[in-house]
Amino acid sequence: MKLISWNVNGLRACLNKGFLDFFHTTAPDILCLQETKLQPHQIELELPGYHQYWNSAEKKGYSGTALFSRVEPQSVTYGLGIPQHDTEGRVITAEYEDFFLVCCYTPNTQQELARLPYRMEWEDAFRGYLQELDRRKPVILCGDLNVAHQEIDLKNPKTNRRSAGFTDEERGKLTALLESGFVDSFRYLYPDVTGAYTWWSYFRRARATNAGWRIDYFILSDRLKDRIADSKILSDVMGSDHCPVELDLREAP
């Protein structure tokens, strides 16, 4: 099974930069998108053979997630079920026969860490949500989690120590999630690979020089790790300031 996650930084813009060519060429079983920046019915995508699910922010042109799946999920829910966290279209959960798939666009801490207190509340609520799902069946979490976990996950860790996405607080929350029974699929397979990034600033030729951050993930319940066939970063795919990430999952034994 091939699963792909991509922060498209505005789907309408990405459609003009080769999105459909990428989609049809890769032909994923499931595609999750973040930062769609769409309200309901602003576009109508014709994707024969796929079931489409959308979660939009109340604020126009902001945030938003989508999930396209060949197999119709048993159920689909939107948000965390917590009103204060569910106005920005950040989470879609699809239940399949042997796992939950959670597509997430984690809130950015923003300049001067203005949203760090809210981010900490979100992280605790989201971890609790994932743990509750995990008690029912294994979980696959994907998306833009807006944090580079370790120094190996960004080009310039020393100068970004208190930057949004690399604070001790944000990194600690991801550590807490992993320690509660989850695994970062890319680092599970490639613990020492350097220069593996998924986001690059539009400034200072960051992508051309690979001055990036790895902030897009596939994170799985520990009991799924033996099913990880590969975890890829598709860094040659353009169309956004993020590149897609891919999880190749073996079928259940």
User: Which is the catalytic residue, given 50, 105, 197, 217?
Assistant: 105
216 is in an annotated binding site: no
16 is in an annotated binding site: no
* C-beta separation of 213 from 233 below 8 A: no
35 is in an annotated binding site: yes
Residue 24 appears among annotated catalytic residues:
no
User: Which is the catalytic residue, given 53, 85, 144, 149?
Assistant: 144
Residue 62 appears among annotated catalytic residues:
no
7 is in an annotated binding site: yes
24 is in an annotated binding site: no
User: Which is the catalytic residue, given 53, 85, 197, 242?
Assistant: 242
121 is in an annotated binding site: no
Residue 149 appears among annotated catalytic residues:
no
Binding positions: 7, 35, 144, 146, 241-242
Binding positions for Mg(2+): 7, 35, 144, 146, 241-242
* Catalytic positions: 105, 144, 242
